[in-house]
Amino acid sequence: MATTRIENATVWTGHRLPSGDVLTTDAVLVRDDRIVALGGTARSTDADEVIDGQGGFVLAAFGDGHVHPVFGGLEQQFAPVRDMSSPLEIAASVGAWARSHPETEWVRGEGFDHTLAPEGIFLASWLDAEVPDRPVVLRATDYHTVWVNSEALRRANYGVGIAQPHDGEIVLSDDGMPTGTLREWGAWRPVYNLMPEPPLTMLMDAVSFASRSFASAGISWIQDAWVEPSGVGVWLTAEQRGLLDQQVDLALWADPNSWREQLDGFQASRARVAAEGGGQVSARTIKFFADGVIESATGALIEPYCDCPHSRGLPNWDPEEMKLAVAAIDALGFTAHIHAIGDFGVRMGLDATEYASRVNAPWDRRWVIVHTQLVDPADLARFAEIGVIANFEPYWSKFDSWQTELTAPRLGPDRTARQYQTGTIANLGATISFGSDWPVTTYAPLEGIQVAVTRQMGPGEPVWLPDERVSVDAALSAYTSGVAYQAGRSDAGYVRPGAVADLAWIAQDPRAVDPLTIGAIPVLGTWYRGRRTFTG
């Protein structure tokens, strides 16, 4: 039995006192994979290892309630397209990468900025100038928009007269030719289906990169928010190879067109993970996309888009069908993880969970609606009433170029001014959990917490919707106990004797610094089940 004591630090337990403050103490003692004592008891007990906390701050390790580890890890191995300032710069980068990788038939890139082209329409011809002879497939950082060259369009038989999918949009030019921009997977899945699966070595490198990155940010639990059947084996192999420094739950993707046929597969995946896994991987969750994203005008709205008055966006599900699907997976003991961005998408998610709770027997459910960007005022209280967790990606709740370039013109001033209502929904009694949606945006929880607390772009910048800010304590809770609740982990999310020894040690008390510097606080240590996974 190995014991470790961390002392000379503020230990933030996560437990609320009657005053509303969070209980803190000054030391924590870990034995093997459990926290066994706090404060004076911890200090007066012999330990094999004593760590000087250097006046820093110790809390339960963070969980990421919505993240795409394999996508993020693979992105590092594709052509670089992120953080560029124009479509032509992206095309040039892709061209240079393609010329230096002549053996790669399909040239891929992930994470380009979809705000760089007017109305988010990227032309195949811009890529053709660099790569005319091989297919190029680039996915935007929103993961809903894809930009391809003419060779990719040709291979997918996308030409004049192509039929539009019901669950996506092949953006056409005035002469009816596909432009090269494909919105939602209904439009880009036919292209993706032509591409070879990345080889196992690439996938293992991706998982390993992701896991090390998360550990460096203080994370010990992750929700992989989009897993297809082939992904189950990837995670089991990664666990067997010892590549995982976190606990991971897999959200198995429900296809609106074939969810009934998928039900057996969901149960088989869950059983396989239980049989072959070593306890680090679970498959207890089903992922639903209620809608798309507002930036691409595919987020489903109750009232029409301002810039496109005939469109209310693109629900991915028929609302009645989604009720049946959520009820079906709920009856099988799965948790529903529902992507919902527009107010109609959110309402679909709330209606489906409400329906399932009416027709099925009660159990300890952990339903979650993720992103929760625009909620109709009539629906705000329903999260708490139905018992649906509201998951936010706090890094998004600032008035950035996504807002100014794409979202605000589409929503108009009224709806623009009621996005990401974290404070309101929390005050109405709902459980809040946080996530990153990495690689969409940074995986670092402290960077997200900074935005949740300030809702500012930087010093001197205006505060966006000040009433929706939350306290540092509330933001830390959303990223620790909030995600642990979402995960169904009753022994995690708080620092208390008996809890699993998942801990993060950061250099400063985030309640005591300028809130606009919280994101820069160094992470000094991370522990997962008592095992140190990161040393800063």
Our CB check for Zn ion shows the closer of 14 and 313 to be 313
Q: Which of residues 177-206 bind Zn ion (CB under 5 A)?
A: none
Cβ 370 to Zn ion, closest distance in Å?
Answer: 7
For 7-39, b/e burial (b = at least 16 CB within 10 A) is bebbbbbbeeeeeeebbbbbbbbbbeeebbbbb
Our CB check for Zn ion shows the closer of 167 and 437 to be 437
Q: Which two tokens stand for residue 164?
A: 């539009």
343 binds Zn ion (CB under 5 A): no
Q: Give the separation between CA 434 and CA 390, rounded to whole angstroms.
A: 8
Our CB check for Zn ion shows the closer of 9 and 389 to be 389
437 binds Zn ion (CB under 5 A): yes
Our CB check for Zn ion shows the closer of 56 and 299 to be 299
Among the residue ranges 52-60, 103-111, 239-247, 435-443, the one whose residues contact Zn ion (CB under 5 A): 435-443
Our CB check for Zn ion shows the closer of 22 and 248 to be 248
Q: Which of 404, 501, 502, 410 is nearest to 462 (CA)?
A: 404
- Interface with Zn ion: number of residues (CB under 5 A): 2
Q: Which two tokens stand for residue 464?
A: 């966006």
Cβ 508 to Zn ion, closest distance in Å?
Answer: 30
Cβ 522 to Zn ion, closest distance in Å?
Answer: 27
Our CB check for Zn ion shows the closer of 295 and 437 to be 437
Contact 205, 70 (CB under 8 A): no
Cβ 492 to Zn ion, closest distance in Å?
Answer: 22
Among the residue ranges 272-280, 291-299, 405-413, 433-441, the one whose residues contact Zn ion (CB under 5 A): 433-441
Q: Which of residues 222-251 bind Zn ion (CB under 5 A)?
A: 225
**Residue nearest Zn ion, Cβ-based:** 437
* Complete edge-to-edge strand list for the sheet that includes strand 503-506: 34-38, 22-31, 3-16, 49-60, 503-506, 523-528, 531-535
Our CB check for Zn ion shows the closer of 184 and 437 to be 437
Q: Which of residues 346-405 bind Zn ion (CB under 5 A)?
A: none
Cβ 143 to Zn ion, closest distance in Å?
Answer: 6
Among the residue ranges 81-89, 436-444, 469-477, 519-527, the one whose residues contact Zn ion (CB under 5 A): 436-444
Our CB check for Zn ion shows the closer of 225 and 338 to be 225
Q: Which of residues 273-332 bind Zn ion (CB under 5 A)?
A: none
Cβ 337 to Zn ion, closest distance in Å?
Answer: 10
Our CB check for Zn ion shows the closer of 245 and 437 to be 437
Cβ 142 to Zn ion, closest distance in Å?
Answer: 9
Three-class SS string for 248-316? EEEEEECCCCCHHHHHHHHHHHHHHHHHHCCCCEEEEEEEEECCCCHHHCCCCCCCCECCECCCCCCCC
Q: Give the separation between CA 237 and CA 446, rounded to whole angstroms.
A: 30
Q: Are strands 136-140 and 281-289 parallel, antiparallel or unpaired?
A: unpaired
Q: Give the separation between CA 169 and CA 147, rounded to whole angstroms.
A: 12
Helix or strand run (H / E) with residue 534: strand 531-535
Q: Give the separation between CA 493 and CA 369, rounded to whole angstroms.
A: 20
Cβ 287 to Zn ion, closest distance in Å?
Answer: 9
Cβ 190 to Zn ion, closest distance in Å?
Answer: 21
Cβ 394 to Zn ion, closest distance in Å?
Answer: 14
Our CB check for Zn ion shows the closer of 225 and 449 to be 225
At residue 88, what is the residue type?
L
Q: Which two tokens stand for residue 47?
A: 């330990």
Q: Which of residues 207-226 bind Zn ion (CB under 5 A)?
A: 225
Q: How far is CA 158 from CA 179, 181, 183, 191, in A?
A: 10, 11, 14, 9
Among the residue ranges 93-101, 179-187, 352-360, 434-442, the one whose residues contact Zn ion (CB under 5 A): 434-442
Residues binding Zn ion (CB under 5 A): 225, 437
